[in-house]
Amino acid sequence: MVVGTPFLTVEQIQNKNRELADRISADYRGKNLLAVGILKGAFIFFSDLVRLIRVPLMIDFIIASSYLKAETSGEIKLHYSVREEIADRDILLIEDIVDTGITLNYLRERILNEQPRSLRICTFLDKKERREVDVPIDYVGFEIPNKFVVGYGLDYDNKYRNLPYISVFKKTA
Ligand code: 5GP
């Protein structure tokens, strides 16, 4: 496993988060914002981002996983549903990375069933070329190529989440 060189540095991450938070703050002025983080991967991005957003908000989390080690299973395990009231709230779903889009599409439909006033999606990373399901994404941090990345909340086998930067994961023999 090689995690030596950052693919995205701490500084690039911080700058991008400020940019995203500025846009979100402008878009959600006067709204009833509920920021919903998708665990576990988004926990660091979520906590950095909400601290930079300058409008009132409430938070909640969903635990979802569709990955087994570095391979997607396509099967989503949804451990918790949102406990805050969704109806009539402006929901911002916050994800670490969108790959095939299967996870987000599933969560989006579940949330839309509960009739929020609005639903937008923010992802830190987007592997657009891997998309299988078309999901509308409103805020994207970085578009990245089809490489498996770890760090900044993202894992391999629940490890490396604590790296402060994003690194490309390479399996060593
Ligand atoms: P999707 O349903 O869009 O295929 O997959 C989304 C989920 O797959 C993400 O929330 C994340 O858990 C996982 N995932 C996709 N690509 C990567 C990657 O490059 N690195 C890591 N650590 N997880 C990934």
> Which listed residue (48, 90, 99, 155) is catalytic?
99
What is the total count of domains within the chain?
1
Range of the domain at 145: 6-168
The atom number, within ligand 1, closest to the CA of 98 reads 3
| Residue among 70, 58, 65, 74 at smallest CA distance from 132 | 74
In this prediction, residues 11-38 reach a mean pLDDT of 97
For residue 70, pLDDT over 80 is answered with no
Please tell me the pTM assigned to this model.
0.91
Phi and psi (nearest 5°) for 141? -70, -70
Report whether pLDDT(68) > 50: no
pLDDT at position 67 over 90: no
In a domain, 1, yes or no: no
Distances (CA, A) of 61 to 10, 12, 33, 34, 82: 24, 26, 14, 10, 6
pLDDT at 69 (0 to 100): 42
Residue holding tokens 């190529």?
Answer: 145
List all residues whose CB is within 6 A of at least one atom of ligand 1.
41, 66-67, 72, 95-103, 148-150, 154-155
Does residue 48 lie in a domain region?
Answer: yes
Is 47 contained in some domain? yes
How far is residue 86 from each of residues 7, 44, 61, 77, 112, measured CA to CA in Å? 36, 23, 12, 21, 9
Q: What is the CATH number of the domain that holds 41?
A: 3.40.50.2020
